[in-house]
Amino acid sequence: MTISVPSGEEGRLSAQATMQFLSAHRCVRAEGVAERICLPVDADGQGDARFQRAVAEALQHARNRGVAKPIAMGAIPFDLSQPVYLTIPHRYEMSTRETLAAMDALDAQSAPSRPTAPMPALLSAHSVPEAARFKQAVQQVVANFQFSDIRKAVLSRMLELELAAPVDAAQVFARLMAQNSSGYHFRLPLADGAELVGASPELLVRTEGGRLYSNPLAGSAKRQGNAELDFQVSNALLQSGKDGYEHSLVIQDIERVLAPLCRALDVPPQPTLLSTAAMWHLSTRIEGELADPAMTALQLACRLHPTPAVCGYPTRLARKLIELVEPFERGMFSGMVGWCDGEGNGEWAVTIRCGRIQDKRIQLFAGAGIVADSCPESEWAETQAKLQTMLNAVGVTLPPAATTMTTTTVASAAANAVHTQRSEELA
């Protein structure tokens, strides 16, 4: 299915379109800005009514200006008191992955796609916080559980990369698509001129015709190159008491939020496994029927966010703890990204496995859920493993233990190239 919204311009939107959100359900490509929304969802803790009205008004203005079936598309930050970056595109196309792939294959015959072109060389890499500080923060958080009601807090870090030449976000996006066949792929411009690019495995919420779907993930393990080992690792994750507990906190909280909003809600009692190219996750597929079918995907997403998958439990206290120990602003990382139409249908993914690209600089992000049984070393390793999705897309290999590296260490990273190629095949 392809729905095009014409506004004078002809021709389909190509793989180079500046705004994209692609899922197994719908692929949306968009261009041009008819309206822009830069308010916070909830500036003062009083709720999102003003924000939701602004979105409805922007959709109406776009209709008045001739956009036939407008959608709102963009990203909402982790911190809901910070401005969102949503647009009502001038023109968009919706299709399935199959249709998109077939059309892109045709395009590629006339203009070859770019996933195989070389990426600029890495000049430096710097983790905020560095390994020792991150592990110390894990210890602080675990210690805090003894003296507070907090049961889980998600700690994250940022990896800042500097490359030798400007990075082409379209190319990184093409590489992400080539290396990760499923999930939620996104590429969006941000207010400051940077671009947000990622391949998230996690669905915050999707609604269609009064039904809702959510697929929270929590509890993770790194994929292994050897098939037998990979199976063992996935099995251990499924049996792990620590990961099961971490996951159950997320599911219980999502059920608490959704139950009063649904006529029927199906929450499977046990998680299953979901794999990406780099990771295994515990996953629960939730489905429900909305009590009020007029409730929009964006309203639901704002009710659910931040789930304990990216923040912790209980939410408010976990957020305070994160603010105390995390030494950087998350920005759009661990917020939500997606789209919503005028009827309230839409799809919002959790903004993880992503990066912020600005000229020669890229910031990558990854977090891990900390519970009482967490071990600092393994939580650090989990963030390393999660970063691999974007590192592969950017074509960067870090020496295994590196958290900070400058041009002098780049040569030793090059020596790892053979190893990388293998892990790229896997990832």
Closer CB to ligand ISJ, residue 59 or residue 172?
172
**Residue among 31, 35, 93, 152 flagged as catalytic:** 152
Enclosing H/E stretch for 362: strand 361-370
* Residue of 188, 368, 394, 398 that binds ligand ISJ (CB under 6 A): 368
Could you tell me how many residues of this chain bind ligand ISJ (CB under 6 A)? 18
- Distance CA(129)–CA(121), nearest Å, equals 23
Which residue stretch of 90-98, 253-261, 292-300, 362-370 sits at the interface with ligand ISJ (rule: CB under 6 A)? 362-370
Active site residue 202: yes
In 267-375, which residue ranges form alpha helices assigned H by DSSP? 297-304, 315-325
Strand partners, 189: 195
Q: Give ∠ CA 31-32-35 in degrees, rounded to 5.
A: 125
* Residue of 154, 251, 322, 402 that binds ligand ISJ (CB under 6 A): 154
Minimum CB separation of residue 131 from ligand ISJ in Å reads 16
Which residue stretch of 29-37, 54-62, 109-117, 360-368 sits at the interface with ligand ISJ (rule: CB under 6 A)? 360-368
Using CB under 6 A as the binding rule, the residues of this chain from 262 to 291 that contact ligand ISJ are 281
> Residue 152, interface with ligand ISJ (CB under 6 A)?
no
Closer CB to ligand ISJ, residue 187 or residue 386?
386
Active site residue 424: no
* Residue of 77, 288, 306, 369 that binds ligand ISJ (CB under 6 A): 369
- Distance CA(63)–CA(45), nearest Å, equals 31
- Distance CA(312)–CA(249), nearest Å, equals 8
> Residue 366, interface with ligand ISJ (CB under 6 A)?
yes
> Residue 353, interface with ligand ISJ (CB under 6 A)?
yes
* Residue of 202, 253, 326, 347 that binds ligand ISJ (CB under 6 A): 202
> Residue 326, interface with ligand ISJ (CB under 6 A)?
no
Query: Count of alpha carbons within 13 Å of 190, Cβ hemisphere only?
Result: 20
347, 21 in Cβ contact below 8 A? Answer: yes
Which residue stretch of 139-147, 214-222, 231-239, 268-276 sits at the interface with ligand ISJ (rule: CB under 6 A)? 214-222
* Residue of 26, 185, 206, 386 that binds ligand ISJ (CB under 6 A): 386
Q: Which string of b and e fits 75-107 if b means at least 16 CB within 10 Å?
A: bbbbbbebebbbbbbbbbbbbbbeebeebeeee
**Residue among 31, 93, 195, 202 flagged as catalytic:** 202
> Residue 367, interface with ligand ISJ (CB under 6 A)?
yes
Closer CB to ligand ISJ, residue 222 or residue 360?
222
Nearest to 174 by CA among 166, 164, 185, 188: 185
> Residue 62, interface with ligand ISJ (CB under 6 A)?
no
Site of tokens 């996006």: 173
β-strand pairing of 346-350 with 336-341 = antiparallel
Query: Count of alpha carbons within 13 Å of 320, Cβ hemisphere only?
Result: 7
Query: Count of alpha carbons within 13 Å of 418, Cβ hemisphere only?
Result: 1
* Residue of 219, 331, 335, 344 that binds ligand ISJ (CB under 6 A): 219
Residues with a known catalytic role: 152, 202
Binding site for ligand ISJ (CB under 6 A): 154, 156, 202, 217-220, 281, 309-310, 334, 352-353, 366-369, 386
